[in-house]
Amino acid sequence: NLAIAEEGLDCSNAFARTYFPDDDNAQSRQPISIQDIRKVQSLCRNIDDEMRWLILLISDTGMRLSEAAGLAIDDIMLGADVPHIKLVPHSWRRLKTKGSERHIPLVGASLWAARRLQTNDSNYAFPRYCDGKICNANSASAALNKWLKPRVSGHAVVHSLRHSMRDRLRAAECPSEIIDQIGGW
């Protein structure tokens, strides 16, 4: 409307009568409470398998599921002064944005999971979801959400761990620039 008015165009706006439904009924992505995160992390360590390592890795890094599922073992830098994930694009898994390429520190549950991943005989951190040709993050999402749903309150999903990490960093008064760098925003 603004462009039509300012340019004095003799036409009608095709979007003038577009209907936008209320967001009141839509479920928004909810963060997972720290109590639920700790409970899930404990369960994951006890089960100690590849699927739970993926949850643990995401829980204390804030990585996107596809970023984590598509990791190569060589992306995990445990021998560095600060253990971290070197998140880079691969032929089987692109990154969402240029800013998504980053180094993500490994601490707590994510460091524990990264150490477990180093015991893999595969070149890929999660060979169930990544074979070097494709990364099937949708399959990982479905399986992990099915496992996670009865163990957390509310409408939380695996992606909620990413939102929770941002909230946890904010609560620790981490500067927003660092939060954005860690999360690849």
What are the tens digits of pLDDT across the range 79-136?
Answer: 999 999 999 999 999 999 888 999 999 999 999 999 999 988 899 999 999 998 999 9
Name every residue whose Cβ is closer than 8 Å to that of residue 127 and which is 6 or more positions away in sequence. 50, 120
Indicate the SS3 state at residue 101.
coil
Listed ranges 3-7, 17-21, 34-38, 94-98; the one with the highest mean pLDDT: 34-38
For 136-180, what is each residue's pLDDT tens digit?
999 999 999 999 999 998 888 999 999 899 999 999 999 998 988
Q: What is the pTM of this model?
A: 0.81
**25 pLDDT tier (thresholds 50, 70, 90):** very low
Give me the residue label for tokens 């939380």. 156
Record the tokens describing residue 71, joined without a space.
């990791």
How many other C-beta atoms lie within 10 A of the C-beta of residue 148? 20
Angle among Cα 15, 28, 174 to the nearest 5 degrees reads 110
Indicate the SS3 state at residue 27.
coil
Q: Is a pLDDT exceeding 90 seen at residue 184?
A: no
The single-letter DSSP state of residue 16 is: T
